[in-house]
Structure 1
Amino acid sequence: MSSLSLKADLLLYGGRVLTLDPARPTAEALAVAAGQILAVGGEEELRPLIAAHTQTLACDGRTILPGFVDPHLHLFAWASHFCGTDLGTARSIPEIQGLLARDLSHISTGDWVRGYSYDEFFLAEKRHPTRRDLDLVSLDHPVILRHRTGHAAVLNSAALRRAGITQHFTPPAGGSVERDPLTGEPTGVVYELEKFLRTVLPPLSSHDFTAGVKQASAELLRQGVCSFHDASAGNTLEDFALFRRFNAEGLLVSRATVMIGIDALPQLVDAGLAPFSGDERVRLGSVKIIVHESRGTLYPEPDELAEMVWQAHRHGFQLALHAVEEGAVCAALNAIEHAQRRLPRADHRHRIEHCALCPPPFVDTLVETGSAVVTQPGFLYFYGDKYAAEVDPQLHSWLYRTKSLLECGVQVAGSSDCPIAPLSPLTGVQAAMTRRSRTGTPLHLQDRLALRDALALLGCWPIWSCLIETS
């Protein structure tokens, strides 16, 4: 406990403090001074910290938790969602059309209409909207919908023209355009084209984007997330500077660690920036690489991926490899294993982001390479019905594993991946404990965590994978 010569600004008492510290798992009171926790302990133990200026607050038996650490979310993408139409609750294509039409009155003719977070699985039609569906919303506005995963989008005819996506368009490597099988014309549905689309869409106004960041930051605080990793693969040093600016302006309340996309690695090296440069409020994080399968092909190709991983590894950076499918997870682990053989690093803490399907042989590689898994337990609640319908039941024991990985010695941390799913750390705790969807569908109940472990999954365990033990 801190020295009793210091005095508290705030004393919480009469509650149940869950410390997540095995040496003292619970306490009755908590003292705060200068915005930091001064001490935890019994009420009588902390009474000497009270001074004339101390505010005391009776908790009446309520539970007090440590702040959450979210090691994987996308702050700027989330901020952008506040500037568009939320389609996450839509359950049919006409409902999507109605929500977009409602917002058209606020958008000038010719300006982009942006919708976010639809998912065809939850639509009555069980399909993506098409350009024709969105043309019924407007022919005078370019309209774009982003899938809730961020890996697909739908454009109306005006948006396709603006983007130059025609019958003869050749998508970048790893991307694809759905086409009418009779005419060859784009249907409006595109996959893995986010990087390309960012070059087409005009940026949000500074006013709207700043307001979105402020709203997202306030929501982080409201839900108790005190520290987060921004896991956006498109981040550059310019984005890092923007995070620092928002922090200096007081818009960021929680501490931010900013991943940098692999394309910006030469910038980091040329600038002489060391891993985790910055300060306690905003610092550089991992180097992010997206590994995914498209139409049976892996992107990046294994040799290219191995070289990317090697370059970041040899320069001392932590890697965060987005890998969802079994083949992508295998390729990511192989690349880490290859880099470690060339240059062993005892405490690299490379991370597999998502690791949605993790068969038993991969667990040994995770342990042998010292790699961590950053998973999303909340997905089991929000999207568990989709997994139950689309994933072979025999593979449910591989799906978003936690307990079974921990028992094998793998470092595991839980995150939200917001805005791919709602922030809601308490829903993540619930999902880690129950492994049931929002309708109650079970998904391999044997991997459920006890309450304290579920809290630690989103509380103190991310500290290791985020390298913030001393913060």
Structure 2
Amino acid sequence: MYADLALINGNIITMDSKKLRAQAIAIKNQRIIKVGTNNQISQLINDSTKIIQLEGRTVIPGLIDTHIHVAAFGRHLDWLDLTDCKSIKDMQTILKNKISQTIPNKWILGRGWNEKNFQKNQFPNRYDLDTIAPNNPVVLYNQSGNLCLVNTEALCLMNINSQKVKLLKENTIKRDLITGDPTGILEGKALDLIWDSIPEPDQKDLLELTHCACLKILKAGITSIHWMVLSYLEFSIIKKLKEKGIPLRIYAIIPFEIWKKEIKQTPSHGLKNNTFKIGGIEIAIDGYLANKTAALFKPYNDGSYSTGNLFQSSQSLYASVSDIIQSGFQPVLHAMGDKAVELALEAIEKLMKKTEHQNTRIRLEQAALINKNLIDRTKNKKIIISVQPCVINSEFKTWNAIDNLGSNRARWLFPLRTLINKKILLIGGSDCPMEPLNPFQGIQKIVDRKFFPEESITLTEAIAMYTINAAYSTNEEKYKGSIEEGKIADLTILSIDPTVIPSNNIKNVEVETTIVGGEIIYNKRV
């Protein structure tokens, strides 16, 4: 039996504990048939075999992004990137360039500005936008996404009524201290007003946007994703993408209410070639640290005495998780604060008393604040913790976790080293478009961790979060996640071996080729 495709003269990082490194790979009928030396693989090559001369380049298993909002990413591809703005003038320059390419009345969206980068920490206002864009509604989110700047045209389209006047009293629409007029800065509940005003793309436009997003994901070396679905429309978009032949492997995670109402009876098995599966059902137990809705045992350090919000009772959570398991799906429990994590653990502990549930792989999504006691309760329960590494950096750097939680609590924010030492499985995702897509940027954040560096992990452990661990989390470790004979030939070829470069340079590793099922989907050199 000769190979369809052979990769030779390479540095193969297999993520297989039995054979950590190799020189070459042979592929036949979408699967890996041999991993070994150049000499071993050469015996499987004939005139019809396509050969990739790696010339020493590094190959790793196809990367798996375990938390990505694909439809939102597609919509964000047209957004302005304001992360490098050092002044309001920089922001205006970028907006001016966009206006020159945009028809009047069309919404312009952007994200990434940070007033701390501006002179004297000066907040921009709507008039800064009006001078550049008087005829287009403009919405520009800050770096953390917890507030935004809008121009006068956008404010008019929001059509403030009596309900929205109440929001003014709650100070979520900032007003000038002298005139009382809106400054253009919105936060909290007022952010909902924006999305009530922005027209939704129709199915055709959304399909095209998400198709573009999928191509960018493949270009990043990602061969499988866990698509965090936000609407039933997205679910239909996924099916249409597969009909169009997108090779990206999709594990869909559906919000509990949408699943229960719209698709509970849909079979959980995948389509042909394991390219699409409805796998996880997500329950939100609490909110987020960034807007202080993550549920905590003790109040946030802002003088408000707020401890965030719990969206579930113990009884409702147990009933919902039981329903998910009995229907053949994976429970995905969003629990960010320590109080929410405890509520999740209580439900899991109760479920594990039933023999039929003991092998269920339950996932804690975006679990952030996990103290020693919670860690001890988590181990030995086959609980998987889903981490978005770039979020860790944002919580400390942008949200100021140490100020908002206090140093003692912030010490237990994303304690990855401790979790791994306790044999708790971690998986990695981007949370794109809220955070960058680049997996190596995420990997760098947890290998070269700046806040509480004692919780840094090794490069091999970090790569495992995006490969073999991610495959295990969805019961797919037998056919992907490592480079082994018999597994699907999903591979990522890199510009350099990330194990031999300084940890602060990992983010600059480039993806040169993406291979899905033995097919070259992206090749930078072509």
Does TM, scored on the shorter chain, surpass 0.5? yes
SS at match of 2:430: coil
Q: Return the match for 1:235 from 231, 234, 239.
A: 231
Q: Is contact 2:96-2:132 (8 Å) kept?
A: yes
Q: Return the match for 1:362 from 353, 374, 378.
A: 374
Give the aligned residue type for 1:141.
Answer: N
Distance 1:179 1:380, change over 3 A: closer
Deviations 1:288-333 (CA, angstroms, capped at 9, x unpaired): 2442144725344442x85256324323232333343444444544
Q: Return the match for 2:240 from 239, 242, 245.
A: 245
Map 1:445-456 onto structure 2 (within 5 A). Answer: 445-456=453-464
* Counterpart-to-counterpart distance in 1, 2:266 and 2:202: 30
Map 1:262-281 onto structure 2 (within 5 A). Answer: 262-268=256-262, 271-275=264-268, 278=271, 280-281=274-275
Give the match for residue 98 of structure 1.
Answer: 93
Distance 1:277 1:299, change over 3 A: farther
Give the match for residue 413 of structure 1.
Answer: 427
Q: Is 1:82 paired with 2:82?
A: no
* Counterpart-to-counterpart distance in 1, 2:390 and 2:469: 16
TM-score normalised per structure 2: 0.75
Map 1:344-359 onto structure 2 (within 5 A). Answer: 345-359=357-371
Give the aligned residue type for 1:225.
Answer: I
Deviations 1:273-299 (CA, angstroms, capped at 9, x unpaired): 244665521221322244214472534
SS at match of 1:65: strand
Aligned-residue offset at 1:37? 2.4
Aligned-residue offset at 1:112? 1.3
Q: Return the match for 1:45 from 25, 40, 46.
A: 40
Map 1:68-217 onto structure 2 (within 5 A). Answer: 68-124=63-119, 126=121, 129-166=124-161, 168-169=163-164, 177-180=172-175, 183=180, 187-191=184-188, 197-204=194-201, 209-217=206-214
Give the aligned residue type for 2:456.
Answer: R
Would you say how many aligned residue pairs link Structure 1 and Structure 2?
453
Aligned-residue offset at 1:401? 2.5
Give the match for residue 253 of structure 2.
Answer: 259
Give the match for residue 439 of structure 1.
Answer: none
Aligned-residue offset at 1:362? 1.9
TM-score normalised per structure 1: 0.83
Q: Is contact 1:218-1:253 (8 Å) kept?
A: no
Give the match for residue 373 of structure 1.
Answer: 385
Q: Is 1:465 paired with 2:473?
A: yes
* Counterpart-to-counterpart distance in 2, 1:381 and 1:149: 11
Q: Is contact 2:8-2:41 (8 Å) kept?
A: no
Q: Return the match for 1:401 from 375, 398, 415.
A: 415
Distance 1:235 1:276, change over 3 A: farther
Q: Is contact 1:167-1:185 (8 Å) kept?
A: no
Structure 1, unaligned runs of 5 or more: 1-5, 436-441
* Counterpart-to-counterpart distance in 1, 2:371 and 2:250: 32
Aligned-residue offset at 1:430? 2.5
Give the aligned residue type for 2:364.
Answer: I
SS at match of 1:95: helix
Q: Is contact 1:112-1:142 (8 Å) kept?
A: yes
Deviations 1:369-427 (CA, angstroms, capped at 9, x unpaired): 54221112234567764458746444454232322101112121111111222111122
Q: Is contact 1:413-1:457 (8 Å) kept?
A: yes
Distance 1:329 1:153, change over 3 A: farther
Distance 1:405 1:197, change over 3 A: same
Aligned-residue offset at 1:264? 0.6
Q: Is 1:24 paired with 2:36?
A: no
Give the match for residue 311 of structure 1.
Answer: 320
* Counterpart-to-counterpart distance in 1, 2:7 and 2:452: 39
Deviations 1:38-74 (CA, angstroms, capped at 9, x unpaired): 3211222222211111122332222211111110111
* Counterpart-to-counterpart distance in 1, 2:347 and 2:171: 25
SS at match of 1:319: strand
Give the match for residue 60 of structure 2.
Answer: 65
Deviations 1:149-186 (CA, angstroms, capped at 9, x unpaired): 555444333323323445642889xx983443854958
Distance 1:48 1:231, change over 3 A: same
Give the aligned residue type for 1:422.
Answer: P
Aligned-residue offset at 1:9? 1.8
SS at match of 1:461: helix
* Counterpart-to-counterpart distance in 2, 1:340 and 1:125: 55
Give the match for residue 278 of structure 2.
Answer: 284
Deviations 1:222-250 (CA, angstroms, capped at 9, x unpaired): 22111011124x232x3112111012113
Which deviates further from its counterpart, 160-169 or 72-81? 160-169
Deviations 1:169-216 (CA, angstroms, capped at 9, x unpaired): 2889xx983443854958541226666644431123667544533332
Deviations 1:113-162 (CA, angstroms, capped at 9, x unpaired): 21134445555554764444444443432222234555544433332332
Distance 1:169 1:89, change over 3 A: same
SS at match of 1:215: helix
Identity among equivalent positions (%) equals: 23
Which deviates further from its counterpart, 292-301 or 347-356? 292-301
* Counterpart-to-counterpart distance in 1, 2:25 and 2:12: 7
Q: Is contact 1:275-1:285 (8 Å) kept?
A: yes
Map 1:315-330 onto structure 2 (within 5 A). Answer: 315-316=324-325, 317-330=329-342
Q: Return the match for 1:428 from 436, 442, 446.
A: 442
* Counterpart-to-counterpart distance in 2, 1:127 and 1:395: 31
Higher RCO, 1 vs 2 (CA within 8 Å, ≥6 residues apart): 2
* Counterpart-to-counterpart distance in 1, 2:143 and 2:223: 25
Q: Is contact 1:14-1:43 (8 Å) kept?
A: yes
Q: Is contact 2:375-2:419 (8 Å) kept?
A: yes
Cα-Cα RMSD: 3.4
SS at match of 2:379: helix
Q: Is 1:14 paired with 2:9?
A: yes
Distance 1:19 1:193, change over 3 A: farther
